[in-house]
Amino acid sequence: MIDKERRELFEQAKSYALDYMEGVNERAVFPDEDAIERLDVFDGALPEGPAESSEILRLLHEYGSPATVAQTGGRYFGFVIGGANRAAVAAKWLSSAWDQNSALYVMSPIVSRLEAVCERWLVDLFGLPEGAAAGLVSGTSVATICGLAAARNDILDRLGWDLSLKGLFGAPKIRVLLGDQAHSSVFKALSLLGFGLENLETVPVDDQGRMIAGRMPELDDRTIVIVQAGNVNSGAFDPIDEICDLAKKANSWVHVDGAFGLWAAASEGKRFLAKGIEKADSWSVDAHKTLNAPFDCGIVLCRNREALISAMQSKGSYIQYSRDDKRRDGMLYTLDMSRCARAVELWTTLKSLGKSGVEKLVDRLCDRAAEFAEKLRGQKFNVLNDVVFNQILVSCDTDEETEATLKKVQESGECWCGGAVWEGRPVIRVSVCSEVTTAEDIDRSVAAFVVAREGARSGN
Q: Choose the binding region for ligand PLP from 133-141, 197-205, 242-250, 301-309 (rule: CB under 6 A).
A: 133-141
Instruction: Check binding of 431 to ligand PLP (CB under 6 A).
Output: no
Question: Are the CB atoms for 256 and 282 separated by under 8 Å?
Answer: yes
Q: Which of 312, 390, 14 is nearest to 136 (CA)?
A: 312
Q: Which of 223, 290, 230 is nearest to 256 (CA)?
A: 230
Q: Which of 180, 179, 186 is nearest to 144 (CA)?
A: 186
Nearer to ligand PLP, 210 or 375 (CB): 210
- Number of residues this chain uses to bind ligand PLP (CB under 6 A): 13
DSSP assigned state of 322: -
Instruction: Check binding of 257 to ligand PLP (CB under 6 A).
Output: yes
Q: Helix (H) and strand (E) counts for the chain?
A: 13, 11
Instruction: Check binding of 233 to ligand PLP (CB under 6 A).
Output: no
- Residue in the shown chain whose Cβ atom is closest to ligand PLP: 139
Rounded to the nearest 5 percent, the helix, strand and coil shares of the chain are 50, 15, 40
Give the H or E element holding residue 213. Answer: none
Sign of CA dihedral 279, 130, 259, 196: negative
Instruction: Check binding of 230 to ligand PLP (CB under 6 A).
Output: yes
Which of 140, 233, 412, 437 contacts ligand PLP by CB under 6 A? 140
Q: Choose the binding region for ligand PLP from 18-26, 54-62, 87-95, 256-264 (rule: CB under 6 A).
A: 256-264
C-alpha torsion angle, residues 264, 268, 274, 280 (rounded to 10): 110
DSSP assigned state of 415: -
Instruction: Check binding of 183 to ligand PLP (CB under 6 A).
Output: yes
Q: What are the start-end ranges of the E strands in 124-210?
A: 133-137, 175-179, 201-203
Q: Could you tell me the smallest distance in angstroms from the CB atom of residue 83 to ligand PLP? A: 15
Q: Determine the residue type at 453.
A: R
Which of 161, 260, 283, 422 contacts ligand PLP by CB under 6 A? 260
Instruction: Check binding of 334 to ligand PLP (CB under 6 A).
Output: no
Instruction: Check binding of 185 to ligand PLP (CB under 6 A).
Output: yes
Where does residue 135 fall: left (phi above 0), alpha (psi -120 to 50 degrees), or beta otherwise?
beta
Q: Choose the binding region for ligand PLP from 101-109, 199-207, 257-265, 274-282 (rule: CB under 6 A).
A: 257-265
Three-class SS of residue 177?
strand
Q: Which of 267, 321, 263 is nearest to 297 (CA)?
A: 263
Instruction: Check binding of 139 to ligand PLP (CB under 6 A).
Output: yes
Q: Choose the binding region for ligand PLP from 36-44, 252-260, 328-336, 343-351 (rule: CB under 6 A).
A: 252-260
Q: Determine the residue type at 351.
A: K
Q: Could you tell me the smallest distance in angstroms from the CB atom of residue 258 to ligand PLP? A: 8
Instruction: Check binding of 181 to ligand PLP (CB under 6 A).
Output: no
Instruction: Check binding of 141 to ligand PLP (CB under 6 A).
Output: yes
Instruction: Check binding of 297 to ligand PLP (CB under 6 A).
Output: no
Instruction: Check binding of 179 to ligand PLP (CB under 6 A).
Output: no
Three-class SS of residue 425?
strand
Instruction: Check binding of 410 to ligand PLP (CB under 6 A).
Output: no
Residues of this chain that interact with ligand PLP (CB under 6 A) are 80, 139-141, 183, 185, 230, 232, 257, 259-260, 286, 298
